[in-house]
Structure 1
Amino acid sequence: MKNLHAVFIDRDGTIGGTGHFIHPRDFTPYPFSKEALELLKENGIKTFACTNQHRISKGEASVEDFYDEFKAFGFDDAFICPHGSSDGCDCHKPSPGLLRKAAEKHGLDLLKTAFIGDVGSTDMLAAHAVGAKKILVLTGWGESSLTHYRHTWANIEPDYIAVNLLDAVNWLINIGSMKNA
C-alpha cells in the first residue's frame, strides 16, 4: 500500500452502530472494526474518521465527545461536520470540505486516498468529488444505498463493495500488494 496516503472512514454504520446517531458514550464498534483499524496501522496507512454529526449543532453531543471517541479507536485524526444538511456549509458530506481540510492539514494527495462508508449519496459522492477510491460497505445503510437509494448517486460506481470494514481494508491492502508486486 505504498501508494495509499490515507483512508477516510465514516462512523455510523461503517465502524459500528446502526447508521443512526448514537452518542459516543453509547457507541459500540462492530467486532471486526478494531482489527480493520489495526491492519491499516500495521501497513503504515493513516486513518481519518470523516463523519456528519448534525446532532452536535442540536446540543446532543460535542465535537470533543467525538474526537475523544476517535482517538480511543486509534484514528490519526477526525474530521467532523457538526452542521445539518440544510445549513449550507462546505463540510457536510456529500460536499468534500472535510476531505479537503484533511488534505491541507496532513499534506495528502487526495487521489492517493480511499473512503470507506455505508452511504452512497454522502460518502461515495464526497470521495468521488476528490478522486479518492470509493468503497461501500454493506453494513449500516450500505445495502439500501445499493437498492432503495441507488438513484441518489446513480452516476457513481464504487471501486469495491465490501461486506464490512474488515473486508474493505483487506481489499485495499490486497490491491496495493498486487500493484507493488
Structure 2
Amino acid sequence: MTQNPDAPPPHSSACPDRLIVLDRDGVINHDSDAYVKSLAEFIPYPSAIAAIARLSRAGYAVAIATNQSGIARGYFNDAALEQMHAHLTELVENAGGQLSGIAYCPHGPEDGCDCRKPLPGLLYQIQDALALPTLSGSWMVGDSLRDLQASETAGCRSVLVRTGKGSRTEEKRQYAEDTPVFDDLAAFADWLLA
C-alpha cells in the first residue's frame, strides 16, 4: 500500500469508525471503459477532492482501495499509476486534507490474487497499514457491486454513489437493501458530517 508520508504514523489506537475507504474510478475521478491510463486521462471530480479534504479535516482517515487491472493488461505501468496518485494526493493536500493511504490491485481477473475486488484483500491491506484491530464500523464508498461485496466481506458499512457506474449499479439492485445511496461523494460527506 502506498502510504502518505505526511499522514500521521499508524498506531494501534486508530479507530475503525473514523476510517473511510474510497473506490477511485467513478467515485473520485471520471471512469472510462477504456481505462484511465495516464495522468492526462485522470480527471477528478472537483467536488470529490473537496469532500475528501472536508472528511480529513473532520478527523476521518481517508484511504483508497482500487482495482487497476490495466497494469496486468499492459495498458499502463506502475509508474503511470504512481503519477496519477501523486497528483491526487497533491490535489487533496492543496484542498487542506490528506490521504492516509492508497491500496491498489494490479492484477487481472484470471490472476488468482486475493486483492482484486470483490475480494477484500485491499481493505485488509489498509487495515494492516493503519494498525486497526477490525474494519467493523468503517465505511467503504463505491460505485460498483464489487466494491459493495468487498465491503460486506470485510465488515465495513457500504455506501453506493451514483457517479461512475453507480447509477447502473443502483438500477440492478443486487446489493443489500439498507445500503445508503448518494448522488456523489460530496453528498455522502454532507450527510456524514451533518
User: In which range does the TM-score fall when normalised by the shorter chain?
Assistant: 0.7 to 0.9
2:16 and 2:110 map into 1 onto residues whose CA distance is 36
Q: Confirm or deny that 1:104 pairs with 2:118.
A: no
1:83 and 1:66 map into 2 onto residues whose CA distance is 18
Q: Residue 117 of structure 1: which of 109, 121, 142 is its match?
A: 142
Gaps of 5+ in 2: 1-14, 93-98
2:36 partner amino acid: I
Contact 1:111 1:131 in 2 (8 A): yes
TM-score when scaled to structure 1? 0.84
Task: List per-residue Cα deviations over 1:4-52 (Å, max 9, x = no partner).
Answer: 2211111111111135321241211112012101111111101111100
Q: Aligned pair in 2 of structure 1 residues 103, 139: CA closer, same or farther (>3 Å)?
A: same
Q: Confirm or deny that 1:160 pairs with 2:180.
A: yes
Once the two structures are superposed, the pairs formed by residues 74-93 of structure 1 within 5 Å of their partners are 74=92, 75-93=99-117
Q: Aligned pair in 2 of structure 1 residues 133, 13: CA closer, same or farther (>3 Å)?
A: same
Q: Any runs of at least 4 consecutive aligned residues in structure 1 with deviations exceeding 3 A, and if so which?
A: none
Higher helix share: 1
1:165 partner amino acid: L
Task: List per-residue Cα deviations over 1:145-177 (Å, max 9, x = no partner).
Answer: 122x44xxx353353100001011222223xxx
1:35 and 1:57 map into 2 onto residues whose CA distance is 31
Contact 2:143 2:162 in 1 (8 A): yes
1:87 and 1:9 map into 2 onto residues whose CA distance is 23
1:91 partner amino acid: C
RMSD of aligned C-alpha atoms?
1.9
1:170 and 1:146 map into 2 onto residues whose CA distance is 20
Once the two structures are superposed, the pairs formed by residues 121-160 of structure 1 within 5 Å of their partners are 122-147=146-171, 149-150=172-173, 154=174, 156-157=176-177, 159-160=179-180
Q: How many residue pairs get matched?
A: 168
